[in-house]
Amino acid sequence: MVTSPVFRFAPSPNGALHLGHALSALLNFRLAHSQHGRFLLRIEDIDVERCTPAFEQAIYDDLNWLGIQWEHPVRRQSEHFSDYEAVLKKLIRENLVYPAFMSRGDIRAYISETADHGKSWPRDPDGVPHYPPIDRRLSARERRKRMASGAPFAWRLDVKGALARISQPIDWTEFLDESLAHSENIDARPESWGDIVLARKDIPTSYHLAVVLDDARQSVTHIVRGRDLFHATSIQRLLQELLNLPKPSYFHHRLVLDENGRKLSKSESDTGLGKLRAAGATVEDVMRLIGLGAGQELG
Ligand code: GLU
């Protein structure tokens, strides 16, 4: 049976969408159309402190303005915490996730005590030092004791333990351009991340866990998103293998940069879509700014 491709745009309502989001949303929407597939919108609102109904409404307004239509109902991650929690509990039972008690300060202090003051300590693709191997080795009894004492902690994935449970190597198909006509195979390197946070003490998920579960629950086949998430794919592929989830294909598209060559951020509101619209910009202006032809067909 040939199933039609499923694309998705998955913004977080923790700030205003900017030109980079417009590129991502439009690429997904146009590709879904040209590939005779489906286009889904997912609201990634697990950060209940920073995500607001007003930002969520602004996402709908901005996408409507761009002429994008999506399927209903929209999946909102905050409505699926029990699903994430069930998977987290399974990983805890399987001893693949452990409570990590060290604060950022503890980690810094630990690393600076290593032989060369941490100079050769491994860092993840974002430049953050790997989590020290201390808590992974704690006995079950000690873990229980510390958790019962109310100490703050996060649930971290034992990446080495996870790699030992799956068949390797793991890889993914990466499309090379917006036509999705050409692709190459990329070897995933989850170990480059160290033991990542999979859930918080009071939020039973993290971005990585929720994103792989939702992509599977929504049968997403093609993940089209910015190049800034290229390396995250390594850890997400590991989770997909570990949880027996289907393997999507990926296209990590170019980023829209500001005049200084930096990635746009949600706080730089002058490139925010709402601000541009209020200042009289048209959808054609947006297309020009992000380098997409107005009626340009893809694929
Ligand atoms: N929610 C993520 C963001 O807004 C995107 C997740 C993804 O496309 O995988 O950056």
**Candidate from 6, 9, 12, 205 with most ligand 1 atoms within 8 A of CB, to mutate:** 12
Q: Is 270 helix (H, G, I), strand (E, B) or coil?
A: helix
**Candidate from 46, 225, 250 with most ligand 1 atoms within 8 A of CB, to mutate:** 225
Verify whether ligand 1 is closer than 6 Å to residue 231 (CB atom): no
Domain 6-98+166-290 coded CATH 3.40.50.620: yes
Position in ligand 1 atom list of the atom nearest CA 236: 9
Verify whether ligand 1 is closer than 6 Å to residue 203 (CB atom): no
Read off the pLDDT of residues 182-234 as tens digits, 9 standing for 90 and up: 999 999 999 999 999 999 988 999 999 999 999 999 999 999 999 999 999 99
User: Which pLDDT value is given to residue 299?
Assistant: 42
Read off the pLDDT of residues 56-92 as tens digits, 9 standing for 90 and up: 999 999 999 999 999 999 999 999 999 999 999 999 9
- The residue whose CA is least distant from atom 6 of ligand 1 is 10
Q: Looking up tokens 């996402």, which residue turns up?
A: 59
User: Which pLDDT value is given to residue 115?
Assistant: 74
Q: Virtual CA dihedral for 258, 260, 263, 265, nearest 10 degrees?
A: -70
Within 10 Å of residue 100's Cβ, how many Cβ atoms? Answer: 23
Looking at per-residue confidence, does 264 or 89 come out higher?
Answer: 89
Q: Are 178 and 251 in contact (CB under 8 A)?
A: yes
Distance 54 CA to ligand 1 centre (A): 19
Q: What is the Cα–Cα distance from 227 to 252, expressed in whole angstroms?
A: 5
- The residue whose CA is least distant from atom 3 of ligand 1 is 11
Residue extents of the structural domains in the chain: 6-98+166-290
Listing DSSP states for 66-128 in one string gives TT----SSPEEGGG-HHHHHHHHHHHHHTT-EEEE---HHHHHHHHHTSTTTTTT--B-TTSP
pLDDT band at 295 (very low <50, low <70, confident <90, very high): low
| Summary mean pLDDT of the chain | 94
User: Which pLDDT value is given to residue 261?
Assistant: 77
Contacts of 9 (CB under 8 A, 6+ apart): 21, 24, 25, 28, 29, 39, 40, 41, 42, 63, 68, 70
pTM reported for the whole predicted model? 0.94
Read off the pLDDT of residues 115-129 as tens digits, 9 standing for 90 and up: 788 789 999 999 999
User: Which pLDDT value is given to residue 269?
Assistant: 64
Q: Is 209 helix (H, G, I), strand (E, B) or coil?
A: helix
User: Which pLDDT value is given to residue 243?
Assistant: 98
